[in-house]
Amino acid sequence: YEAIDPVRFIGNHSSGKTGYALAEAAIAMGAHVTLVSGPSSERIPYGLSEFVRISSAEQMQQAMETRFDDCELCIMSAAVADYRPSEVADKKVKKSEDVWTIALEKNADILQSLGKRKAHQKLVGFALETNDGEANAKGKLEAKNLDAILLNEPGAHTGFGTETNKFTIFTSDNNSVELELSSKQELAVKTLDLLCDNYF
Ligand code: CTP
């Protein structure tokens, strides 16, 4: 969420379900899991090593950057805001004008900056695409120096807020695997199995 004033923000429809499902699946596999979460009404998984609640992209970046050195596998499923209001009003903005224009400035790309300083870590991102999915996902895999990317194409039973999803995983060694429509919990288990087979 990117604040406009003390009572308003710019956000998106992400529910956090995929990130929470991945955290739960990783705990069940015996991993020490840190979950850095933006606003979500999902139940916090039992057994986390650490839970970090953040709101804005800047807060998420700080939380990720300070923990990255100690991490073996980092999965960025968050729908991070690409832009934030250039100015945040300290008092509620009154509706005096007929048209309200809000200037936005670009947020840092957290995944890209983690990709730049990656050493021993395996880094996995998501690509949310409405068109040219494969080309865009592969472009992001390379541009952000990732080990794998999960292509997510929103539809009737897939994407934000739904209980189910499907995606294609592209890895940096040029493999791809399609995961069929299933619950976000099942997908999380299959994704981690696949990443572990490939990298650990
Ligand atoms: N991401 C990030 N920081 C941002 C924006 C995105 O770390 N400021 C991460 C997301 O968590 C995801 C990946 O980058 O793992 C791709 O996000 P996506 O929204 O698909 O693409 P963008 O890189 O933001 O590019 P665009 O919106 O132009 O498609």
Q: How confident is the model at residue 160 (pLDDT cuts 50, 70, 90)?
A: confident
Mutate to test the pocket of ligand 1, among 10, 12, 126, 130 (most ligand atoms within 8 A of CB): 126
- CA nearest to 25, candidates 187, 200, 144: 187
Q: What is the pTM of this model?
A: 0.95
141 Cβ below 6 A of ligand 1: no
- d(Cα 149, Cα 125) in Å, to the nearest integer? 5
Give residue 152 CA to ligand 1 midpoint distance, Å.
Answer: 12
| pLDDT one-digit tens code per residue, 79-112 | 999 999 999 999 999 999 999 999 999 999 999 9
- d(Cα 14, Cα 103) in Å, to the nearest integer? 23
114 Cβ below 6 A of ligand 1: no
Tokens coding 196: 């572990």
The predicted model gives 143-156 an average pLDDT of 92
pLDDT of residue 87: 97
76 Cβ below 6 A of ligand 1: yes
Question: Residue 36, exposed/middle/buried by CB under 10 A (0-12, 13-18, 19+)?
Answer: buried
- CA nearest to 169, candidates 121, 119, 134: 134
| pLDDT one-digit tens code per residue, 108-119 | 999 999 999 999
Q: Which residues carry out catalysis? A: 12
Q: Compute the mean pLDDT over every residue in the chain, rounded to the nearest whole number.
A: 95
Nearest atom, ligand 1, residue 128 CA? 20
Cα diameter, the chain = 59
124 Cβ below 6 A of ligand 1: no
